[in-house]
């Protein structure tokens, strides 16, 4: 298992990637290598790509109910 903390995408790719390109790369990697991706985001449009979403509100975990 490996953990990658990405703070600045530009440092990894050497150029500015769009959110869509980064998500496409992660999803491709997930399928190709049978990986589990743990992503933390404040953006709902990014979270929509996930198979499962868990929200943290006031320090409590709550499974996303699709609403």
Q: What is the DSSP-derived secondary structure letter of residue 17?
A: P
> How far is Cα 8 from Cα 10, in angstroms, rounded to an integer?
5
- Would you place residue 2 in the very low, low, confident or very high pLDDT band (cuts 50, 70, 90)? very low
**pLDDT of 11-61, one tens digit each?**
555 556 678 888 888 888 888 888 888 888 888 888 888 888 988 889 888
Contacts 24+ apart (CB under 8 A), 39-46: 43/19, 46/19
Q: Is the pLDDT at 65 greater than 80, yes or no? A: no
Instruction: Look at the pTM and tell me if it is higher than 0.75.
Output: no
Distances (CA, A) of 61 to 14, 31, 64: 35, 27, 9
């Amino acid at each position: 298992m490996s953990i990658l903390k990405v703070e600045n995408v530009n440092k990894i790719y050497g150029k500015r990637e769009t959110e869509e390109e980064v998500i496409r790369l992660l999803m491709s990697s997930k399928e190709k290598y049978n990986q589990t991706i743990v992503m933390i985001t404040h953006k709902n449009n990014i979270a929509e790509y996930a198979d499962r979403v868990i929200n943290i509100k006031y320090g409590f975990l709550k499974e996303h109910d699709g609403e």
